[in-house]
Amino acid sequence: MNLLNESQVKKAVENCNYVVHVASPVPLKQPSEEKDVIDPAFKGTLFVLRASQKNKVKRVALTSSYLAISHNEYKDHNFFDEKQWSDVKACEPYSKSKVLAEQAAWDFLDSLDEKDRFQLVVLNPGVILGPTLTGLPYTSGVFLKKIMHRSWPGVAKFALPIVDVRDCAQAHFLAITSPNIT
């Protein structure tokens, strides 16, 4: 499915009670234009939410990223809430796309009349690693493989919050099925 094709997104959401929106491009190399990363995240999220509202979906679980909240003045704190966002001026295109998409999701939900609202749950995982269903390479896995095979240029000093893809999938399942979410 193409996230920039609203009719494909609408068709994917038809007859759904719950929607898990996990797709957003993660480029291994910086794109020549940031819109190549921002548009699919931002517009794709809004297309998913519009389709969800139109189809009277009960709950949407949206995959954002720790990057949407980690580049800000609160970075020394251990607790983050919906009032703390990464500073988009300090973000690379992917991080910026996650901030803008998540903010747009909350703004969209706030713009709806109470009778048209659905529940929105946002997950902000770190780097997701683990086995794939398709066996095809994915950006986070390629990045890790390059580090392990010493083919990444140079040695960087960095720390990454990592989550296993199976744990992330379980968190998404709980996000759509838990009766305790309001």
pLDDT at 132 over 90: no
Identified catalytic residue from 75, 89, 98, 157: 98
DSSP codes joined into one string, 93-158: HHHHHHHHHHHHHHHHHHHS-GGG--EEEEE---EEES--SS----HHHHHHHHHHTT-SSS----
Both structure tokens of 32 = 């020549």
Q: Which domains does the chain have, with CATH numbers?
A: 6-128+162-177 (3.40.50.720)
Cβ atoms of 85 and 103 within 8 Å: the answer is: yes
pLDDT at 111 over 60: yes
Both structure tokens of 140 = 């986070």
**pTM higher than 0.75, yes or no?**
yes
Give the tens place of pLDDT for each residue, 94-106: 889 999 999 999 9
10 counts as catalytic = no
What is the pLDDT at residue 91? 87
Give the tens place of pLDDT for each residue, 35-89: 999 999 999 999 999 999 999 999 999 999 988 887 766 556 666 666 788 888 8
